[in-house]
């Protein structure tokens, strides 16, 4: 399925859909947005993104679509079967760098939020450190999502192998993990970010939660091997009973576009998104990081940002 928009400026030749304003029909364009499996952070974010963007611009109709996550979203964008997609930082890094594949020609629409990686265990768990979890069953996230890739880099920096040093579990649905922690099927759940639904669910459970992150010495070792991982912070009170900030490592996730998304469409999306930053933040706490300035700072290279987005950023003075 190819993207419905051919040229936005040419009266949005996207099909017959319209929005009504009085007696005037405003042509609308449907834009597909790939997210991930239900119960994870990407569907939560993607649905909120679509709601605020569609409300702000009647000529946009962003339609979220559940997928298997980052690993599926990238090839779907390349084939033109998605127009936009959420992609975690590590899969994006590998795709742009051509690690294990040819480099992609996709572009960044926006950075969405930072992803400090953590393990969560029950509050009464005996496990206190990453080393304590060696040999234990650990849910590393949904198959195809970016979370297992982030975990792989973090653990590799510590000389650990995800599938050999742990009894690795990969989920069919991201939302299945918290119950597995609660009932003891897994010792820990790996996740990332602020407001991540899996962490929130464990922290809100009757048993409560405790978080495990690399310590200062471990973070130094990890970054010595994988410098693209950045020091990030989970602020205090990001989750129930989490009263102290948690330092960890991670990267930024992005909304990526297919390679041939027209410049005027990307420009319109960037302008609309910038105009709703405050409303988006009110709607979803982790969306407070979705800003034009964060996009410029988080992009691995400036040329990876879509030219239409860059044009708008120049107009507002975010880039020169």
Query: What does the buried/exposed string (b/e) look like for 122-160 if buried means 16 or more CB atoms within 10 Å of the residue's CB?
Result: beebebeebebbbeeebbbbbbbbbbbbbbbbbbebbeb
- Predicted pLDDT of residue 25: 52
- Predicted pLDDT of residue 24: 52
Q: Is residue 262 part of a domain?
A: yes
Q: Is residue 21 part of a domain?
A: no
Q: Is residue 166 part of a domain?
A: yes
- Please identify, among 224, 251, 278, the residue that sits at the C-terminal boundary of a domain: 251
- Predicted pLDDT of residue 17: 47
**Maximum CA extent, the chain:** 67
Pick 167 or 143 by higher pLDDT: 167
- 263 & 198 share domain: no
Q: Is residue 96 part of a domain?
A: yes
Q: HEC string of the chain?
A: CCCCCCCCCCCCCCCCCEEEECCEEEECEEEEEECCCCCCHHHHHHHHHHHHHHHHCCCEEEEEECCCCHHHHHHHHHCCCCCEEEECHHHHHHHHHCCCCCCCCCEEEEEEEEEEEEEEEECCCCCCCCHHHCCCEEEEEECCCCHHHHHHHHHHHCCCCCCCCCEEEEECCHHHHHHHHHCCCCCEEEEECCCCHHHHHHHHCCCCEEEECCCHHHHHHHHHHCCCCEEEEECCCCCCCCCCCEEEEEEEEEEEECCCCCHHHHHHHHHHHHHCHHHHHHHCHHHHHCCHHHHHHHCCCHHHECHHHHHHHHHHCCCC
Q: What is the pLDDT of residues 284-304, one digit of tens each?
A: 998 999 999 999 999 999 999
Q: Is residue 16 part of a domain?
A: no
- 232 & 269 share domain: no
Q: What is the pLDDT of residues 248-289, one digit of tens each?
A: 999 999 999 999 999 999 999 999 999 999 999 999 998 999
- 168 & 68 share domain: no
- 216 & 256 share domain: no
Query: Domain count of the chain?
Result: 2
Range of the domain at 92: 29-113+252-316
Q: What is the pLDDT of residues 103-113, one digit of tens each?
A: 999 999 999 99
Q: Is residue 4 part of a domain?
A: no
- Please identify, among 203, 232, 251, the residue that sits at the C-terminal boundary of a domain: 251
- 92 & 190 share domain: no
Angle at 97 between CA 217 and CA 116, to 5 degrees: 35
Per-residue confidence at 130, pLDDT binned at 50, 70, 90? very high
Q: What is the pLDDT of residues 13-72, one digit of tens each?
A: 344 344 444 445 556 789 999 999 998 899 999 999 999 999 999 888 999 999 999 999
Average pLDDT, the chain: 91
Compute the half-sphere exposure of residue 34: CA atoms within 13 Å on the CB side of its CA. 30
Does residue 188 carry a pLDDT above 90? yes
Instruction: Indicate which CATH number applies to the domain containing 135.
Output: 3.40.190.10
- 242 & 256 share domain: no
Q: Is residue 45 part of a domain?
A: yes
- 234 & 245 share domain: yes
- 209 & 261 share domain: no
Q: Is residue 24 part of a domain?
A: no
**Dihedrals phi, psi of 102, to nearest 5 degrees:** -70, 145
Does residue 1 carry a pLDDT above 70? no
- 175 & 189 share domain: yes
- 81 & 126 share domain: no
**CA pseudo-torsion sign 64, 70, 72, 78:** positive
- 63 & 178 share domain: no
- 96 & 122 share domain: no
Query: 184 burial class (0-12, 13-18, 19+ CB within 10 angstroms)?
Result: exposed
**Dihedrals phi, psi of 267, to nearest 5 degrees:** -60, -45
């Amino acid at each position: 399925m190819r993207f419905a928009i051919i040229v936005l400026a040419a009266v949005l030749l996207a099909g017959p859909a319209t929005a009504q304003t009085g007696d005037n029909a405003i042509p609308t364009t449907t834009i597909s947005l790939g997210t991930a499996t239900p119960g994870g952070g990407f569907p939560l974010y993607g649905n909120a993104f679509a709601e605020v963007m569609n409300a702000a611009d009647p000529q946009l109709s962003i339609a979220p679509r559940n997928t298997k996550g980052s690993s599926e979203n990238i090839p779907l964008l390349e084939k033109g079967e998605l127009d936009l997609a959420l992609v975690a930082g590590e899969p994006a890094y590998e795709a742009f760098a051509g690690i294990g594949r040819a480099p992609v020609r996709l572009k960044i629409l926006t950075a969405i939020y930072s992803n400090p990686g953590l393990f969560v265990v029950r509050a009464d768990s005996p496990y206190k450190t990453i080393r304590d979890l060696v040999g234990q069953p650990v849910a590393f996230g949904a198959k195809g999502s970016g979370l297992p890739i982030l975990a792989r880099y973090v653990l590799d920096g510590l000389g650990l192998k995800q599938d050999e040093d742990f009894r690795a579990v990969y989920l069919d649905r991201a939302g299945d993990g918290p119950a597995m922690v609660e009932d003891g099927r897994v010792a820990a759940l790996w996740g990332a970010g602020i407001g991540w639904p899996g962490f929130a669910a464990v922290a809100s459970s009757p048993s409560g939660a405790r978080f495990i992150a690399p310590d200062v010495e471990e973070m130094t070792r990890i970054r010595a091997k994988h410098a693209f991982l950045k020091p990030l912070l989970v602020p205090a009170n990001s989750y129930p009973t989490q009263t102290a900030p948690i330092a960890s490592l991670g990267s930024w996730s992005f909304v990526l576009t297919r390679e041939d998304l027209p410049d005027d469409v990307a420009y319109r999306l960037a302008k609309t998104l910038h105009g709703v930053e405050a409303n988006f933040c009110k709607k979803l706490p982790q969306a407070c990081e979705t800003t034009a300035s964060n996009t410029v700072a988080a992009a691995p290279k400036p040329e990876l940002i879509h030219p239409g987005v860059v044009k708008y950023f120049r107009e507002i003075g975010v880039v020169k």
